[in-house]
Structure 1
């Protein structure tokens, strides 16, 4: 059984493919996109070009300080959103409590009126 091995691209070809993908998309390419562009399997490319894979991974992820700032900004925004939602829910709960109290009073008054109406003696109907 013979295997047909495709020669690995030169470093210059790989760098040219990276530049080409950046020009097309405007951002650093994924390792998979680069391997596909070069006609290699992802694992083959990762095994033979670990330095380029590391560079791409570094470019793809923002620095730790930026990640921390983004996380803090997200947490602050989430906190503000949750506070607004909590305030809205508290107002709705207060309104619902007032409505239940009013309905209880109305119910009590209607029951008293019904009870008093039953105490009225009904007159016999005339024929």
Structure 2
């Protein structure tokens, strides 16, 4: 699985977690079949494990928004991107930000990408 595909699958999995009472293993099983890709699994498990810290960092960068008021796709993309920015040192920040914008184009709309870009630009 290429990294772009791993991120797309991770967004789908994290979106499932945000919209249900599933645990991480159930959500992973709902989205992908075995064998799992290690990068995908790192993204999903890492984001889920560090969700409190990630949400706190996002909240600190939001203006006139709360994390709970964000549309679900934007919140999910931001969570994944901020997890990577904070905990994945092997990927350059510019790549993480570009991937987040591309994920918004795939799962959201033009406004999603601009909003996510605006929030993520505050992490530089």
Q: TM > 0.5 between the two? A: no
Query: What TM-score do the two structures reach when normalised by structure 1?
Result: 0.27
Normalising by structure 2, we get a TM-score of 0.27
Higher relative contact order (CA 8 A, sep 6+): 2
